[in-house]
Amino acid sequence: MVADTHGAVTPNLWLKAEFAAIYLLAPMAIALFLPPGHLFRALAIFSIAGMVLLWVTGGFRWRQLVRGWRRMPWREIVGIIIVTFATCYLILAISRPGALFATPRNNPMMLLAIWVLYPLLSALPQELIFRPLFFHRYAAILPAGRAAIALNAAVFSFAHLMYWSWIVAFMTFFGGWIFARAYLRHGFPAAWALHAVAGNVLFALGMGVYFYSGNVVRPF
């Protein structure tokens, strides 16, 4: 279990405004105004801001991010590989059959680069923002129990509004639920590993047609 930092930050109006700015207003602004090619720059800025906020949050210790490697939930990792594979295959077989396994068939070196870089450049910063920062700095204003996990999954899904896809919204909500649950039960390494593995399977199947910022088409 991760350390309890409830009460580390006073639940005042500023904290609620900060929460809304990070998890609601910023994703909306990115979805509406940010050019898709600047996505990773925005993610880097948010990651740095998130680490600064974690640093100033009482009760948080950086070593918490590396605790839990011995509690890695291997059954859950195997499970998310199977579920992600089956879900992506079904979605693509129905909606975009030509995209199935397109990357490994047409550009295997690109897939290898994705498998190396995605866990570090995408899954890691997202997990920092949506798990430690969310559950530690804002613990005082979160609902209790599973409602906090549901809220975490909801804001994680909303952060992917930039893709303008109900498929992405659906998958990221349930992915966010699994990652949040793993974080609270097993620690940060488990959440990061589950996110990284799910993302790598997703791109191997061809779901980049929905999850790649270069393919985004705004509905306006």
Q: What is the pLDDT of residue 6?
A: 53
Tokens of 79: 């499970």
State the pLDDT at residue 8: 58
pLDDT at position 127, please? 96
Where do the domains of the chain lie?
A: 13-215
Q: So what's the pLDDT on residue 67?
A: 85
How many Cα atoms within 13 Å fall on the side-chain side of residue 176? 26
Nearest CA among 102, 128, 140 for reference residue 183 = 128
Q: Say what the pLDDT of residue 2 is.
A: 57
pLDDT at residue 5 in the model: 56
In the chain, which stretches have pLDDT less than 50? none
DSSP 130-145: IIIIIIIITGGGSPST
CB 165 within 8 Å of CB 92: no
- Tokens 């990061």 sit at which residue? 192
Length of the chain (residues):
220
CA distance 74 to 171: 21
pLDDT of residue 40: 75
Residue pair 164/218 in contact (Cβ under 8 Å)? The answer is yes
Question: CA 123 to CA 202: how far, in whole Å?
Answer: 13
Tell me the H-state helices in 8-101: 13-20, 26-33, 39-55, 74-95
What's the pLDDT tens digit per position in 48-62? 888 899 888 877 888
Write phi, then psi, for 111 (nearest 5 degrees).
-60, -40
Q: What is the pLDDT of residue 35?
A: 82
d(CA 18, CA 15) in angstroms, rounded, equals 5
pLDDT in tens, 82-95: 999 999 999 999 99
